[in-house]
Amino acid sequence: MKIPAMKRRDFLKVGGGVVAGAAVGITGTNVGNNLGAGGELAAVASSRGLTGAEARAALTSVVPPGKYDPFFMFASGGHSGQISIIGIPSMRLLKIIPVFSRDSFSGYGFGTDVDGVIPRGSDPTKSNLLSWGDTHHPALSETEGRYDGRWLYVNDRANGRIGMVDLADYKTKQIYDIPNIGSAHGGVFVTPDSEYAHVSSITPRPITDNGYAPLESYADLYRGFSSWCAIDQTTGHLVPEKSFQIELPPYNQDLADMGKLASAGYGFLNSFNAELSVGMSHKNPPIEIGAAKNKYDYLHVIDWKKAEKVVAAGKIIMRNGIRVIPLQVAISEGILHFIPEPKNPHGVEVSPDGNYIVIAGKLDPAVTVYSITMIKKAIEDKNFEGTDRYGVPIIPITAVTAAHVELGAGPLHTQYDGKGNAYTSLFIDSAIIKWTLGPDAGVTEKPFTVLEKIPVHYNIGHLAIPGGDTVAPVGTYMVALNKWSLDQVQKLGPQHPVNLELFDINHTPPRVLSSLPLGGSEPHYAQIISVDRLNPLTVYPPGTSPETMAKSEFATASGQERIVRADGFVDVYATVMRSHFTPEQIPVTVGEKLRIHLTNIETAENATHTFAVPNHNLQATLDPGETVSVEFTADRVGSFAFYCAQFCSAMHMEMYGWLLVAPAGA
């Protein structure tokens, strides 16, 4: 598909000319040190060739040094396997959190305590070691349907895993490799009080003992799964023994959302490929054609509260270490119902009050709005139009549809501003449509009416508004997560950065403020939280293990440094501070196994150090107060100068020591 480059929006231009003080709105106004009154700001804008709207946007979005953003955006990194934290409205990239992929800057994945997360989160039946992932949908933990700033979860679309990040120190503490699913696009989405993190399989897998079945048996032997991963309310960790799955037909289950308020207790899960297309062969079309044959696919309506009771009653089977509600039990117990939805849908988003479920179909120019009141009534009345081939009851689409709102080409995802308005992205049109919800959301004037078409640059996927998928959105800013940048950045080789655009949606029409070309990652979904909901540590209590967030048994204070040989190991208890290691010499013999326990005994904020060992692929990063352990075998003879890779002080070049590996018998 050839995508033409769009011109700059007309509504950004002020007569096409350079800025005058009146256009910027600053002439005669005291800005800072009277720069506005003196015309200096207007002169700066003029020298840069800025229009009035561009200069106004720059002043509106700037966050000067020493001042802070009121919001953080947590954005997935796609196949970088990471999470990015971006300040709003500054659009500054503030931090990268590695989750599924190793990261030498943070020392993540190179042998320290917390980095045992990666091997522990790799099912050996999938791979000996999964050291990359494809992060798609981050989910902040919630209390009463509002972000609470405790934890963050994100899926690995490639490998069917969930990563858990502790927002006390912004570090990944757990990777859970979910049984029975291969790849997982539809998640993570948390329930309103963080009881569960939900993720579903996008590509069904065989339910055979060895995980293989020929595609000729696809309808009979392949299944999808809706996974409800229980969250420990103290640690935020996922608890497999308290988790469960619901077996689903072998459709491609896609994005989901959790019910809230009026729809609390329900989960809503999109699907496509009700045709069960498996790809091109001598008699079958390609998947993209075969999976778009039917007029409708199925919205899965899951009563997870009822599912909890069924699990508690023991109406489950164990499959690969997790409790599973079989498909026929889910049907007979009234846990699973289907509603036809326009074919090949993508986004499903529940309105802040929980009354509406909005479905965007990639191949339908409209969004379909379902009513939870009508859904509940249809289920209660058993108003069904038959079943699918597996026996799942189908609710008539006409019985539950509140509206069908035509928006444009390629609708994907919807966010809400808390004022009765919805914003839906249009991939093909490179635009966002602002439209109104209906009476159940308190909209009495012009319900389900298109208000604005907001151009973006270009080909938007997801979008994000502060709290825009919670019960309490803050309709101030909106970020478009665009997939293409084209003419928005200078050429940087064949691959361009993606382009994130920031809008002021307090203004009518919404105004673009700035953009962030982002190289090195491809955000799919993002959530924006007010920073006053976050309460991170500044330093760890002395000797803290980041894995347990308690004092480590290997914590070492100044004066307690030592080397101990016992049980076939050389245990080194070391301290790190500006600008030296203690001990500075670690003598061993080739073949000995080392466990180096490092404690950063600094108490000053931001006094981070590292322990880097040349030629050994070891790099540990230690924040102030942190204790980590590195374990390896001294498998080569030599003198290796370990050092601190962090520029921590004026004497950082002197901050090194020696790992001395002597030949056998020396």
Tens-digit pLDDT profile for residues 297-343: 999 999 999 999 999 999 999 999 999 999 999 999 999 999 999 99
Evaluated on CA atoms 275, 281, 283, 286, the torsion sign reads positive
Our CA angle for 15, 19, 25, nearest 5°, is 100
pLDDT at 24: 39
Which sequence spans correspond to the domains of the chain?
11-61, 71-533, 544-662
Evaluated on CA atoms 335, 339, 343, 349, the torsion sign reads negative
Secondary structure (H, E, C), 398-442? HHHEEEEEECCCCEEEEEECCCCEEEEEECCCCEEEEEECCHHHC
Residues 92 and 108: beta-carbon distance below 8 Å = no
DSSP string of 257-291? EE--GGGTTEEEEEEE-TT-----SSS---HHHHT
From residue 172, how far is each of 32, 117, 169, 183, 515 by CA, in Å? 42, 8, 9, 20, 28
From residue 188, how far is each of 100, 152, 471, 541 by CA, in Å? 15, 10, 18, 31
pLDDT in tens, 603-630: 999 999 999 999 998 999 999 999 999 9
- Whether 544-662 and 71-533 are alike in CATH topology: the answer is no
Which percentage of the chain shows pLDDT scores above 90? 85
pLDDT at 154: 98
Closest to 614 measured CA to CA, from 596, 648, 641: 641
pLDDT in tens, 22-69: 333 433 333 444 445 458 888 999 999 999 999 999 999 999 999 999
> What torsion, rounded to 10 degrees, do the Cα atoms 330, 333, 334, 335 define?
-40
DSSP string of 291-316? TT-SSEEEEEEEEHHHHHHHHHTT--
Residues 153 and 176: beta-carbon distance below 8 Å = no
Q: What is the overall mean pLDDT for the chain?
A: 92
Fold type of domain 71-533: Methylamine Dehydrogenase; Chain H (2.130.10)
Q: How far is CA 550 from the centre of its chain?
A: 27
CATH code for the structural domain at 544-662: 2.60.40.420
Closest to 149 measured CA to CA, from 199, 190, 104: 190
Structure tokens at 568: 């076939």
Q: Is the peptide bond before 64 cis (omega within 30 degrees of 0)?
A: no
pLDDT at 11: 27
At 118, the pLDDT band (50, 70, 90 cuts) reads: confident
Residues 162 and 156: beta-carbon distance below 8 Å = yes
- 592 half-sphere exposure, CB direction, 13 A CA radius: 24
pLDDT at 38: 53
Q: Say if strands 569-577 and 593-600 run parallel, antiparallel, or are unpaired.
A: parallel
Which range scores top for mean pLDDT: 56-60, 100-104, 340-344, 386-390? Answer: 386-390
Average pLDDT estimate for 282-306 = 94
pLDDT at 130: 87
Structure tokens at 616: 């050994």
6: pLDDT strictly greater than 90: no
Output the pTM of the full model.
Answer: 0.93
Evaluated on CA atoms 28, 34, 38, 39, the torsion sign reads negative
DSSP string of 365-385? SEEEEEEHHHHHHHHHTT---
Evaluated on CA atoms 139, 143, 149, 151, the torsion sign reads negative
pLDDT at 34: 43
Structure tokens at 567: 């049980």
Average pLDDT estimate for 472-494 = 94
Q: Is the peptide bond before 393 cis (omega within 30 degrees of 0)?
A: no
pLDDT at 21: 35
H or E element in which residue 90 lies: none
pLDDT at 362: 86
Q: How far is CA 634 from the centre of its chain?
A: 39
Average pLDDT estimate for 127-133 = 84
